[in-house]
Amino acid sequence: MRYYIIAGEASGDLHGSNLIKAIHRKDTQADIRCWGGDKMQAAGATIIKHYRDLAFMGFVEVLMHLRTIIRNIDFCKKDITAYKPDVLVLIDYPGFNMRIAEWAKQQGIKIVYYISPQVWAWKENRVHKLKRDVDRMLVILPFEVDFYKKWNYEVDYVGHPLIQVVEDELKTPPVKLSDKPIIALLPGSRAQEIKVKLPIMLQAVKHYPDYQFIVAQAPSLPDAIYTNIIGKQNVLLAKGQTYNLLKQATAALVTSGTATLETALFGVPEVVCYKGNPISYQLAKRLIKVKYISLVNLIMDKPVITELIQANLNEAMLKQELDKLLHNPQHISKLKEDYKQLWHLLGDKNASENAADAILELIQ
């Protein structure tokens, strides 16, 4: 069978790679063509476009890169037409993927959406388009089943793919990064967000001389993006070693996104850091309906981890919150209990295997 998979971000590359491995186990003749990253390529797919050339965040940023986005959409349609896949698998990345889904449906291509767009957060009416265009929706958050049920849309809960990823990772011992206790900095995977958030995160360094600060460096980005910001500070880089870093971190400062959930599943006390383009943020604030920006708090439906957003992301607040994570045993204990409950909520399903089964069921 021929599979065309589109992922536009680092997290999509990770989950896409595990899906590709599962597909290959079930379909030994699988031919897989992708938009993704290094992990998907290593799993056995032919990569057409790398996600580092696709990731644009925020309303203003999208407008600035509109021509590039339109060119990418046109190229994608031509490439799918030439490849003639048996199924098109879309992984999150809704601004791009929902446009491709609408077109592909008109071409008679079978479509699976793995990892639902966050329509429950904003623009709920996008559900109508998903129902119209997507043959099978595979969701990874428990509450998404009830959300879609409100719209009379039956979806499949396959489990969260990070559970299996973290379980497998915890079976291997960490490769030591420092003799000091570690504070991990996860400023994101896009150059745009790193340049905004990392300088603010680094303001905490001088307050904790007994700790080693280590930045999780995205493997697809050049060293200079980080070293130009770090300068002469005693801060280390761990390139492509985020999980190794989390396995030995005492605490972490984490940009919003999948990394907040990854950090929690590794059991690391964390503070969520978010600062975006002021115009994009104000627009998002008016449109987005959810109470929290981190997946941890959204899934738990309560403020388990502190979210420092826009003006609140500053040196004084970072020190206040890090002090709690490092020196307040009661706070740390409560956080760890909430993390256990989070793991329980996400269940013990193997998402990659279940997703591969659903895809094969559709095309066979």
What is the CATH classification number for the domain harbouring 36?
Answer: 3.40.50.2000
By the 10 Å C-beta count (0-12 exposed, 13-18 middle, 19+ buried), 301 is classed as: exposed
CA distance 249 to 151: 42
For residue 60, is pLDDT > 70?
A: no
The reply to whether 321 and 181 lie within a common domain is yes
The reply to whether 196 and 103 lie within a common domain is no
Residue 239: φ, ψ to 5°: -85, 125
Q: What is the pLDDT of residue 282?
A: 58
Contact residues for 196 (Cβ-Cβ < 8 A; gap 6+): 275, 276
The reply to whether 40 and 134 lie within a common domain is yes
The reply to whether 134 and 232 lie within a common domain is no
Q: What is the pLDDT of residue 284?
A: 56
The reply to whether 62 and 173 lie within a common domain is no
User: Structural domain of residue 176, as residue ranges?
Assistant: 168-346
The reply to whether 145 and 59 lie within a common domain is yes
pLDDT tens-digit map of 146-187: 999 999 999 999 999 999 999 999 999 999 999 999 999 999
The reply to whether 19 and 64 lie within a common domain is yes
| Tally of domains in the chain | 2
For residue 220, is pLDDT > 90?
A: no
Residue type, 237: L
For residue 281, is pLDDT > 80?
A: no
Burial 230-249 (b: 16+ CB within 10 A, else e): beeeebeebeebbbbbbbbb
Residue indicated by tokens 């929290």: 292
The reply to whether 61 and 177 lie within a common domain is no
Looking at 140-284, which runs of residues are DSSP E strands?
Answer: 156-157, 182-186, 212-217, 235-239, 249-255, 270-274
Q: What is the pLDDT of residue 306?
A: 97
Tell me which of 61 and 192 has the higher pLDDT. Answer: 192
Arithmetic mean of pLDDT, 92-109: 95
The reply to whether 203 and 331 lie within a common domain is yes
- Output the CA angle 307-311-314, nearest 5 degrees: 75
For residue 337, is pLDDT > 70?
A: yes
The reply to whether 309 and 219 lie within a common domain is yes
β 156-157/136-139 pair status: parallel
How far from the centroid of its chain's Cα atoms is residue 224's Cα? 23
Q: What is the pLDDT of residue 192?
A: 84
User: Is-contact 277 195, C-beta < 8 A?
Assistant: no
Residue 36: φ, ψ to 5°: -175, -135
Nearest Cα residue to 80 out of 115, 50, 42, 49? 49
Strand ranges across the sheet with 212-217: 235-239, 212-217, 182-186, 249-255, 270-274, 306-309
The reply to whether 179 and 247 lie within a common domain is yes
Arithmetic mean of pLDDT, 206-231: 95
Give the tokens for residue 72: 């990418």
The reply to whether 19 and 67 lie within a common domain is yes
